[in-house]
Amino acid sequence: MASTRALDGRVVLITGAGAGLGAVLARSFAAEGAVVVAHGRTIHSTAGVVAEIEAGGGRATTVAGDLGGGEDVLTGIVEEVQDRLGPVSVLVNNAADQRRTSLSEPGLDAWRQQFEVNLLAVAALTGLVCTRAPDRSQVSVVNVSSVEGLAPFPDHTAYAASKAAVLSLTASAAGEFAPARVNAIAAGLIDRPGLAEAWPSGHRWWGSVAPSGRPVTAQEVASVAVFLASPAASGVTGATIPVDGGWSSSPRTGWV
Single-letter code of the amino acid located at 217: T
Q: Average pLDDT, stretch 57-68?
A: 98
**Tens-digit pLDDT profile for residues 188-210:** 999 999 999 998 998 999 999 99
pLDDT at 104: 84
Q: Average pLDDT, stretch 47-62?
A: 98
Single-letter code of the amino acid located at 192: R
Among the listed residues 29, 115, 159, 247, the single catalytic one is 159
pLDDT at 4 over 90: no
pLDDT at 1 over 50: no
Q: Mean pLDDT in the chain?
A: 94
pLDDT at 253: 67
- Give the number of other Cβ atoms within 10 Å of residue 88's Cβ: 24
- Provide the whole-model pTM: 0.95
The whole-angstrom separation of Cα 147 and Cα 24 is 20
pLDDT at 50: 98
Domain boundaries, the chain: 11-246
**Tens-digit pLDDT profile for residues 96-113:** 999 888 888 767 888 999
The verdict on whether 3 is a catalytic residue reads no
pLDDT at 145 over 90: yes
Q: Which CATH class is domain 11-246?
A: alpha beta
Q: Which of 28, 37, 24 is nearest to 6 (CA)?
A: 28
